[in-house]
DNA sequence: TTCATAGTTCGATGATAGTCGAACCATTTG
DNA sequence: CAAATGGTTCGACTATCATCGAACTATGAA
């Protein structure tokens, strides 16, 4: 009947294959131009423009103009979380777009989710920080303990800059491959950025895959162990 | 970009208005027959049969035959959680199917989510049980404390029967109206059932609305206070 | 200014998919 | 058994919408 939010409208936006490809591409966290997204999805620029307009109107994308370029990114972490939830359903129903291959394994091990680390490494990181008492969970909220505060600063992250902003510092995000939470929020983003800056991890330019260097793996395990 | 689960397939299933109506109707937790769902969505039985077949094939619905009737229900709590996530997006984008009315307010106060209590009453219940130390949260997991175990039994719930089954007893589920968690899982279901048995609450036959009696409200507040 | 690139708008086309009538199975009831 | 109800399958119709060519605007470079 006619009560509740219009779920069909949003779902139909995501349900078009080309638009789903665009959204999946944007799950990598980088803002992409209309041309890049068109190329990514294998369609012309006119068609892409139409799709992007609908996605923006539906509140799934945000866009900012920069010169003659128009950069698109996911509107919020909630959008990313919903996409992950849909991926979970697709997996459990056995609907993969491709046979599980090497790329699939890499995705499960470590990938970018919007702007933070997901996959096995992501959930291990979350679990490790909680285990060391640096993160404290209460209901569905997460926050840094005093020790965690100190740890984050020592790791080279400007925590004051994060807390100054309105966006939540710590947030949980559910994994389609692991079925466990990993750390989102501005701290989740800052940690992944720091991993990159330290040369621990590199993002693939084309996909969501994150690859860790030998040094990175060692450092990562050190983090978990304390 | 052919990596990852086929999100478009699942989303397009939900994105068809008639199917979305059916899924929303099933969020009330009751299993419904094909005819009932057809009537609910305002279409003929032939069309409904086609839609239901697709939803089942997509892993969103489960069906069981009983005599000459065919009862449909949501396939899992994950499906319900994903639908709630989509509702959250639709709300934040301002896409309601109807103007917020009295029914909307009732839905926000107390409603059925799949098989357990959601809305303000749902999140208050969850928060109250955690506050009294009866429920313990760790990461995204929830479990009963020793005191909680005793409390549940004293409340008249056959806890042994719940734990004997494979399904998780405690589980968190996110609310689109409250943006907080409430209690799902077999215990969440059992609690709502018990509320009904005690005459505390009654479900509306047609919608997801749950209405509490005066006695129910008093008892409910007593639960939270301890 | 002239050229080039990025993006939008419009209109025509074509394919996908939702819809229902009609005929068909299956189960229950009289 | 026959009648009735619940549900499925098939085929034809129709509407929606993604797609792209063509023309247009806007920003940047030479």
pLDDT in tens, B16-56: 999 999 999 998 877 899 999 999 888 999 999 999 999 99
Do B216 and B182 lie in one domain? The reply is yes
At residue B66, φ and ψ (nearest 5 deg) are -145, 105
Query: Cα separation of B183 and B189, whole Å?
Result: 9
- N residues, chain B: 226
Instruction: Classify each residue of B113-129 as buried b or exposed e, where b means 16 or more C-beta atoms within 10 Å of its C-beta.
Output: bbbbbbbbbbbbbbbbb
Contacts of B129 in chain A (CB under 8 A): none
Contacts of A58 in chain B (CB under 8 A): 93, 95
Residue B2: per-residue pLDDT: 53
Return the SS3 of B175: coil
Residue A49 domain flag: yes
Kindly identify which residue of chain A lies nearest to residue B206, measuring between CA atoms: A1
Q: Does A128 touch chain B (CB under 8 A)?
A: no
Nearest to A59 among B76, B89, B130 (CB): B89
Using alpha carbons, select from B114, B225, B216 the residue that is nearest to residue B171: B114
**DSSP bridge partners of B32:** B72
Do A88 and A190 lie in one domain? The reply is yes
**For an interface test with A, which of B2, B10, B74 has the most A Cβ atoms less than 10 Å from its Cβ?**
B10
* Strand C reaches within 7 A of the B54 CB: yes
* Residues 141-170 (A) with a CB less than 8 A from some CB of B: none
Task: List the Cα angle B40/B41/B42 in 5-degree steps.
Answer: 95
Using alpha carbons, select from A71, A182, A90, A180 the residue that is nearest to residue A135: A182
Contacts of A24 in chain B (CB under 8 A): 1, 4, 7
**A17–B15 C-beta distance less than 8 A:** no
Residue B188 domain flag: yes
Residue B171 has pLDDT above 90, yes or no: no
Residue A100: per-residue pLDDT: 47
Look at phi and psi of residue B89 and say left if phi exceeds 0, alpha if psi is from -120 to 50, else beta.
alpha
Contacts of B127 in chain A (CB under 8 A): 139
Q: In sequence order, what DSSP letters do the residues of A208-220 get, joined into one string?
A: SBEEE-HHHHHHH
**Of the residues B75, B91, B121, which one is the last residue of a structural domain?**
B75
**B96–A82 C-beta distance less than 8 A:** no
Domain count, chain B: 2
Q: What CATH number is associated with residue B36?
A: 1.10.10.10
Do B118 and B215 lie in one domain? The reply is yes
Do B187 and B127 lie in one domain? The reply is yes
What is the arithmetic mean of pLDDT over B46-67?
92
**B81–A86 C-beta distance less than 8 A:** no
Residue B60 has pLDDT above 90, yes or no: yes
Residue B119 sits in which domain range?
78-225
What is the arithmetic mean of pLDDT over B175-182?
69
Do B219 and B169 lie in one domain? The reply is yes
Asked whether the beta carbons of B212 and B134 are under 8 A apart, the reply is no
Return the SS3 of A178: coil
Residue A213 domain flag: yes
Do A48 and A152 lie in one domain? The reply is no
Do B100 and B158 lie in one domain? The reply is yes
Contacts of A8 in chain B (CB under 8 A): 14-17, 19-21
Do A86 and A65 lie in one domain? The reply is no
Residue B118 domain flag: yes
CA atom of A86 to C1′ atom of C23, Å:
39
Do A92 and A194 lie in one domain? The reply is yes
For residue B181, give both structure tokens. 């968690």
Do B221 and B172 lie in one domain? The reply is yes
Of the pLDDT bands very low, low, confident and very high (cuts 50, 70, 90), residue B130 is confident
**Of the residues B75, B91, B112, which one is the last residue of a structural domain?**
B75
Residue A2 domain flag: no
Question: pLDDT > 90: what percent of chain A?
Answer: 38
Asked whether the beta carbons of A42 and A53 are under 8 A apart, the reply is no
Bridge pairing between strands B116-118 and B111-113: antiparallel
**Of the residues A17, A51, A75, which one is the last residue of a structural domain?**
A75
* Strand D reaches within 7 A of the B70 CB: yes
Do A177 and A201 lie in one domain? The reply is yes
Query: Cα separation of B150 and B135, whole Å?
Result: 11
Nearest protein residue by Cα to C1' of nucleotide C25: B68
For residue A91, give both structure tokens. 């997996």
Residue B134 has pLDDT above 70, yes or no: yes
What is the arithmetic mean of pLDDT over A111-133?
85
Residue A1: per-residue pLDDT: 46
Half-sphere exposure at residue B192, Cβ-oriented, CA atoms within 13 angstroms = 29
Asked whether the beta carbons of B200 and B210 are under 8 A apart, the reply is no
CA atom of B27 to C1′ atom of D29, Å:
58
* Residues 77-116 (B) with a CB less than 8 A from some CB of A: 78-79, 81-83, 85-98, 103-104, 107
At residue A194, φ and ψ (nearest 5 deg) are -65, -40
Residue B2 domain flag: no
CA atom of A44 to C1′ atom of C10, Å:
16
Instruction: Tell me the pLDDT of chain A averaged across its residues.
Output: 85
**DSSP bridge partners of A137:** A142
What is the arithmetic mean of pLDDT over B50-79?
91
Covered bases, chain C (protein CB within 7 Å): 5-10, 17-23, 26-28
Nearest to B107 among A4, A89, A107 (CB): A4
Q: Does B42 touch chain A (CB under 8 A)?
A: no
ipTM for this prediction: 0.71
Do B109 and B219 lie in one domain? The reply is yes
Number of H helices, E strands in chain A: 11, 11
The per-residue pLDDT for range A181-211, each reduced to its tens digit, is 788 888 988 999 899 899 999 887 667 888 9
Number of H helices, E strands in chain B: 11, 11
């Amino acid at each position: 009947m006619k009560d509740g939010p219009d779920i069909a409208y949003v779902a139909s936006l995501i349900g078009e294959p080309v638009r789903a490809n665009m959204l999946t591409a944007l799950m990598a966290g980088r803002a992409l131009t209309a041309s890049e997204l068109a190329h990514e999805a294998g369609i012309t620029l006119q068609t892409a423009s139409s799709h992007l307009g609908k996605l923006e109107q539906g509140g799934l994308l945000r866009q900012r103009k920069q010169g003659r370029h128009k950069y698109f990114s996911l509107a919020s972490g909630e959008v990313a979380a919903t996409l992950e939830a849909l991926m979970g359903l697709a997996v459990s129903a056995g609907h993969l777009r491709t046979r599980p291959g090497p790329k699939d394994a890499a995705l499960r091990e470590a990938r970018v989710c919007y702007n933070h680390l997901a996959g096995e490494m992501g959930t291990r990181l979350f679990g490790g920080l909680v285990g060391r008492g640096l993160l404290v969970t209460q209901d569905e909220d997460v926050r840094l303990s005093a020790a965690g505060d100190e740890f984050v600063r020592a790791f080279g992250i400007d925590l004051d800059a994060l807390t100054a902003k309105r966006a939540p510092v710590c947030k949980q995000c559910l994994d389609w491959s692991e079925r466990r939470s990993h750390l989102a929020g501005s701290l989740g983003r800052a940690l992944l950025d720091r991993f990159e800056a330290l040369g621990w991890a590199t993002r693939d330019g084309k996909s969501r895959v994150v690859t860790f260097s030998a040094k990175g793996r060692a450092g990562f395990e050190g983090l978990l162990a304390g």
